Amino acid sequence: MKSLFLNTEYLMPFLLNQCGSLLYYLTLASTDLTLAVPICNSLAIIFTLIVGKILGEEIGGTRAVVGMVFTVTGIMLCIASSVNKAHRQPSTL
């Protein structure tokens, strides 16, 4: 265990991963679950593809890019729906 924590090639990705996990749990604790879970899960896929591309991996070409665009579009629709629902005022009829 000591050698793992003294190895920066292991320690830096581990700490970055732990920061992501902390952010995930803080997000889940402070927002509506019906909005937070789909957003976190879909953004995890996008960040995985982006980091893979930065590291020089093949990400799947145009199909992967189209998938990321659809994912971001879906996230924006979820957020817009949630914002509209929160700002809607009840009817006075």
How is the chain split into domains, by residue range?
A: 1-30, 32-88
Q: What's the pLDDT at 89?
A: 57
Tens-place pLDDT, residues 70-90: 988 988 888 888 777 766 656
Cβ 35 vs Cβ 82: under 8 Å: yes
**Selection from 34, 45, 24, 39 nearest residue 76 by Cα:** 39
User: DSSP code of 31?
Assistant: S
pLDDT in tens, 10-52: 888 888 889 888 887 887 788 777 777 777 777 788 788 888 8
- CA 78 to CA 39: how far, in whole Å? 8
pTM exceeds cut of 0.85: no
